[in-house]
A and B are shown apart, each in its own frame.
Chain A
Amino acid sequence: MNVTGEVGNFTITVKEHPRYVDMSKCIACGECAVKCPKKVNDSYNAGTGKRKAIYVKYPQAVPLKYQIDADNCIWLKKPGRCGACVKACPADAINFDAVEHIHEIEVGSVILSPGTSFFDPSDSGVYGYGEYPNVVTAMQLERYLSASGPTEGHLVRPSDGKPVRKMAFLQCVGSRDRNLCGNEYCSSVCCMYAVKEAVIAKDHVPGLEASVFYMDMRTHGKGFDEYYQRAKNESGVRFVRCRVNGVEPEGDNGDLRLHYVNEKGQQIEDYFDLVVLSVGLETPKPAMELAERVGIRLTSHNFAAVSDFAPVSTSRDGVFTCGTFSGPKDIPQSVVEGSAAAAVAAKVLSPVRHELARKKTFPAERDIMAEELRIGVFVCHCGSNIAGYVDVEAVADYSATLPGVVHVERNLFTCSQDTQDLMVRIIQENKLNRVVVAACTPRTHEQLFHETIRAAGLNEYLFEMANIRNQNSWVHTGDKAAATQKANDLTRMAVAKISWQGPLENVVVPITRRALVIGGGISGMAVALNLASQGFPVDLIERSKVLGGNGLHLHNTWSGENVPLRVAKMVDQIIWHDLVTVHMESEVIEAEGYVGNFRSIIKSRNGSELTIDHGVTVVTTGAKRFLPDEYGYQKYREVVSALEFDKLCEINDKHVRKSKSFVFIQCVGSRDSDHNYCSKVCCTHSVQSAIALKEEDSSRSVYILYRDMRTYGQRELLYRKARELGVVFVNYEIHGKPKVDKDEDGFIVEVWDHVLHRPLLIHADMIILAAAIIPSSGVKKLAQLYKVSLDGQGFFQEAHAKLRPVDFATDGLFVAGMAHYPKPVEESIAQALAASARAATLLSRDKMTLDGIKAEVDPEFCDGCALCVDVCPYHAITLLEKTDDKGDVHKLISINKAHCKGCGLCQGTCPKRGVSVAGFSLKQLESQVEAALAV
């Protein structure tokens, strides 16, 4: 790959490697792989299993087309020698003569997301990896635990297939380690994945003992600490703070012996069936080569260099990065950055938006109203997920006997791309006018099948799913007869329901192409600036007298960038941007509406009210400081919070000047019963302050009392630097909190030392408390106004912890920054940009399509009693009165389909069957109940 040109107009050369399988012909039947004689290690299964030289990466792969691994194919190495796949392929799809193609592509922006690779412990043979078969990596364990993995989810020892009874996780393999591999940074994700894998392994094997050996548990993300505690207290995972000295085989039966020094200082020897290495993340070689060819700068640890205020912009204009390329990070932060990169790429290109986009076209809908029922049923095996526990053949045979059913198919994966093509063909050939898929859950797959039947010329709502996996095969794994019977029943219910379904029309609503951003801190300003630069007008409201939020109290980001300068620059840009209207000292007092059509009333301090119509709402209300109530805070002047200490240092305060000994106490208000979460930024903050103190005067004594040092990612280098400068780190546990006593010379801080195994008395002149970050005041009211939820800690709750990290569950509303969870500047900005990208997917259109599952009035039965009007939570129903020719007044309700969410409270309330939800009508639900009880 090669990149020439400049921002807005790049020319890229892309090399397409030959697949040796014609994608248009391959039907993914797998015959070729059955016949292929060449077995190779399967990299998808992290080497735990074998695949053939002709293969699909994994069963649900997109595209689901086979490919030949040229490095291992016998024919491609020596033409004429094999060719088994050619003979096996019924579709004549194998093409050994395929050659690579060079494509030249013209684009305006480039986004690099080459991802990560895992540290490979085999080179250094760390902890016997590669020598002892029962030492595996975490990714290998992930595959062993997976139902689609080499052991179908059975946790057995690789050496002899015996069930695992006792396993150990060793943390920080290939991370936080200068000597072994030079990866000095923390990989940020391994603590959490080890906790997860331990919990899931214990779920798989009752009675399994799982131990995690760690240096610091870095569970600093949203909900992570709670999960960690549940793992410890409910699942019974054992956590041991120590570095394991060595792993040795115990005899030749495959058992492994571990030596370590436990928290009490005792030498321990323990035996395990399986040792899992929690390997770290690193930049893959091809990604480094990519960086070189594209001409972007990397950090000394081979991550893409970025600024904290532009976290997805590389050193080359118009080239962006996202995900683990710019540093180790977890799934939600990677998804956030994916959207963030979209937002900054779009900023450059917004003048030519829609110029090149192509619209998906579907054939005209066939009119089926006059047709007899012609139902097609597709029964999915889902590999062995369904077929392993349900007699799918019997279900298919039974389905064929149901009234209206004219065609039945079974598919290995009904959701795969080739099956979609097959379905379209079958629907057209058999003139099907309704389709039932008996497979997994409509919550994840209904949308896909809607598109498929549309492609076949059917109205998308002529479709129903029977959930025979999540609600059947997976929950009745021990009783095939019962599961098969239930699958029959569920399919019969689906067929009965779809028989009463007619075509529905989707609702089209206009979009007000304007955004409301609530909160003018760093995140709110970043959202406003990005959306405005994409050409969308923004109203930014701020409760206080100044813009900047918590950013006004910060000095440096973790990487040392100056915060006040950058915040001042943002404020300046906000004020001068034509498309941003700032409403200072204002708050939302009323809100109504729905995606594309919100109406909010804001009230300013002087009492004036303003109504704003907007299409999207972004909540960036930030968070606030917790005021400590322990360690003598607010009692002694020398006990201060971290932010207060920053201010004192800035003004060269005499207490700081005079002090010779400084003690930082971490987790003040965080990770305790009141605020059961990690505030994420405090460890790094204290370490930075400690470094500054030491650099200014190395004779000062600086202590940091911590529970787990959470300097994640490349921040770990700061932690190392602090130790090298002589900062003393002392670990304490929640049940042994430090004690602070005042004496005539200052303070005595008493803390239990886990290395010396006795209480340590530290003289302190100043004590700096790392106070927690807690939710902003007024969030409850705001959450009620816009009908969004808060999590258990009082932060705003996103739609999905992993995959929708800035969306609210309600469409058209987004969250960014510390309103979501405590986080540092660059993560707030990435989230703000992500929220902007998500908002832009709506604001870039003037109308949007809503689904057709809406309430409908039956004028024959509705007598205008209006019982439904009050129960409708969306105010979608109004009562109309019409006077006919004879002067009689008729009452009838009317439904605003843009407001209607299809919840059917009206249907449940109506005593006369006057209103029902299309797709879930009373008739349909009755038919399902009847079908369920028919046998």
Chain B
Amino acid sequence: MSFEPKIIAFCCNWCSYAAADLAGTSRMQYPSNVRIVRVMCSGMVHPELVLRAFNQGADGVMVLG
């Protein structure tokens, strides 16, 4: 089986989360490997969270804001 990465994306409610919504409204297609965690600002994402995500098996972490 081919490699399917697990990616965690922290998305700011006001920009990137809204953009992800808009991608949906516009029916843009993308791989289903991303799991979005909604935050009120990318600034609230503690470094520890990122490390934890890798520790628990994430292959990539995106902080978008």
Q: Do A and B bind each other?
A: yes
Residues of A within 8 A of B (CB): 203, 441-443, 467, 469-472, 474-479, 482-483, 485-486, 489-490, 493, 853, 871, 901-905, 907-910, 917, 920, 922, 925-926, 928-930, 932-933
Chain B 5-16 near chain A by CB (<8 Å), digits 1 or 0: 010101001000
Q: How far is the CB of B2 from chain A (nearest CB, A)?
A: 13
User: Quick check: A920 and B40 within 8 Å, CB to CB?
Assistant: yes
Q: How far is the CB of A144 from chain B (nearest CB, A)?
A: 16
Residues of B within 8 A of A (CB): 6, 8, 10, 13, 17-18, 20-30, 32, 35-41, 43-49, 52-53, 56-58
User: Quick check: B8 and A474 within 8 Å, CB to CB?
Assistant: no
Q: How far is the CB of A807 from chain B (nearest CB, A)?
A: 15
Q: How far is the CB of A912 from chain B (nearest CB, A)?
A: 11
Q: How far is the CB of B15 from chain A (nearest CB, A)?
A: 11
User: Quick check: A904 and B49 within 8 Å, CB to CB?
Assistant: no
Residues of B within 8 A of A475 (CB): 23-24, 27-30, 32
User: Quick check: A904 and B40 within 8 Å, CB to CB?
Assistant: yes
Residues of B within 8 A of A470 (CB): 20-25
Residues of A within 8 A of B10 (CB): 925
C-alpha spacing A319/B53, complex, angstroms: 61
Residues of A within 8 A of B48 (CB): 922
Residues of A within 8 A of B21 (CB): 441, 443, 467, 470-471
Residues of A within 8 A of B43 (CB): 871, 903-905, 908-909
Q: Which of B21, B29, B47, B48 has most chain A Cβ within 10 Å? A: B21
C-alpha spacing A903/B27, complex, angstroms: 29
Q: Contacts A477-B27, A933-B6; is A493 near B35 (CB within 8 Å)?
A: yes
C-alpha spacing A909/B53, complex, angstroms: 18
User: Quick check: A920 and B27 within 8 Å, CB to CB?
Assistant: no
Mostly, the A contact residues are helix
Q: How far is the CB of B9 from chain A (nearest CB, A)?
A: 10
Residues of A within 8 A of B41 (CB): 903-905
B6 — nearest CB in chain A belongs to which residue? Answer: A933
C-alpha spacing A144/B13, complex, angstroms: 32
A-B contact pairs, 30 of them (CB 8 A): A203-B26, A467-B36, A470-B20, A470-B21, A470-B24, A470-B25, A471-B20, A474-B24, A474-B25, A475-B29, A476-B30, A478-B29, A490-B35, A853-B40, A871-B43, A901-B40, A904-B40, A904-B43, A904-B44, A905-B43, A908-B45, A920-B44, A925-B46, A926-B52, A929-B56, A930-B52, A930-B56, A932-B6, A932-B35, A933-B53
User: Quick check: A903 and B40 within 8 Å, CB to CB?
Assistant: yes
C-alpha spacing A482/B34, complex, angstroms: 11
B61 — nearest CB in chain A belongs to which residue? Answer: A929
User: Quick check: A929 and B52 within 8 Å, CB to CB?
Assistant: yes
User: Quick check: A476 and B32 within 8 Å, CB to CB?
Assistant: yes
Residues of B within 8 A of A905 (CB): 41, 43-44
User: Quick check: B46 and A922 within 8 Å, CB to CB?
Assistant: yes
Residues of B within 8 A of A471 (CB): 20-21, 23-24, 36
Q: Contacts A442-B38, A471-B21, A930-B56; is A903 near B44 (CB within 8 Å)?
A: yes
Q: How far is the CB of B31 from chain A (nearest CB, A)?
A: 8
Residues of A within 8 A of B22 (CB): 470
Q: Which of A474, A483, A489, A910 has most chain B Cβ within 10 Å? A: A474
Residues of A within 8 A of B40 (CB): 853, 901-904, 917, 920
C-alpha spacing A443/B45, complex, angstroms: 19
Q: How far is the CB of B3 from chain A (nearest CB, A)?
A: 15
